[in-house]
Amino acid sequence: MKLKMLPRLYRPGDRDCGICFEYAVHNALNRGEATVVERLEDAMKACRVPGVDPASLLFGLEKSGAFGLIDTVKNSLTDDSRLLTGARSQPPKLKRYINSIAAAFRKNDERALLPSSMSGLWKADLFVGHTDADRWVATTVKINPNHLEGASGLRIGIVPAREGASDIVRRDDSRNLVICPLPHDGAFMEVFYQGWGVVQQFMAADAFVPSEVRLPRQAERQVARYLEDRREFGVLDVIDALIPLAQPELLETEKMNAELISESATKPTLDAVVAPMPETKG
């Protein structure tokens, strides 16, 4: 489908921003977006998830194409993938329960068949964890923090950081969740909201650059121009074409120990002090 056809087929919905937020968090974690990875690592540490290689599996069952997502999750898991539910018992093997969790989302009767420690997993949007340890935790993602709900088996709640409120990762005992706020200023949430605004205005303008009053910022208008220049191409081709412009390699980070190396084997000595001479008037 060509990009120019997308605005004509798109039907706005109240949950669009929230669904895009879930996809964006999932993608950011797998791309290694620093401000997202750092927060999720802190949250997973609070859940005692072992390992060092973070990853996300998209699982939201309420989305269209959910059956494809289920197959993707199953193919990404191994027979040894374990779900850390927080219960004091042997972590269950996640792969064997995926179909049961999906059935619980569709039918209330199926929810009673899940183990008590996993009975709320049908509310999960992501499974986040470490691929090297193959340990995962169920995660709920909400664009509106007021909609965040706890459930048996859910461990982490990802929300945007609130203005004027603390954005540290913290435990919410009332929901039995580790709350993971994603930072805004100069970070992930600011980019997400700006990107969301550009796309919405571009769609409203029938895949043309919107008027200046709709997109007054030059950087946002430039993104819209990139899209308009490619309106005759397929949507997926346009996405692939724009990836190099993001320079994702600039986001790759590596931790290492920094050492101070002295070029001299002897300790420095102070032989003289240089100071300005005061002027004297004759």
Mind listing the pLDDT tens digit for each residue in 9-25?
Answer: 998 888 899 999 999 99
The answer to whether the beta carbons of residues 157 and 148 sit under 8 Å apart is yes
> Which amino acid, 75?
N
Q: Which stretch of 95-99, 220-224, 271-275 has the lowest confidence by average pLDDT?
A: 271-275
DSSP helix/strand/coil, 234: strand
Given a cut of 70, whether residue 187 has pLDDT beyond it is yes
pLDDT number for residue 230: 96
d(CA 106, CA 123): 11
Residue 54 banded pLDDT, cuts 50, 70, 90:
very high
pLDDT number for residue 273: 62
Residue 263 tokens read as 């070029």
Residue 81 tokens read as 């993938």
Residue 246 tokens read as 């993001």
d(CA 231, CA 4): 5
d(CA 106, CA 99): 11
Given a cut of 90, whether residue 218 has pLDDT beyond it is yes
Given a cut of 60, whether residue 56 has pLDDT beyond it is yes
Q: Is the model's pTM score more than 0.75?
A: yes
Q: Point out which residues pair with 129 in neighbouring strands.
A: 55, 136
d(CA 150, CA 104): 16
Residue 92 banded pLDDT, cuts 50, 70, 90:
very high
pLDDT number for residue 39: 94
> Which amino acid, 247?
Q
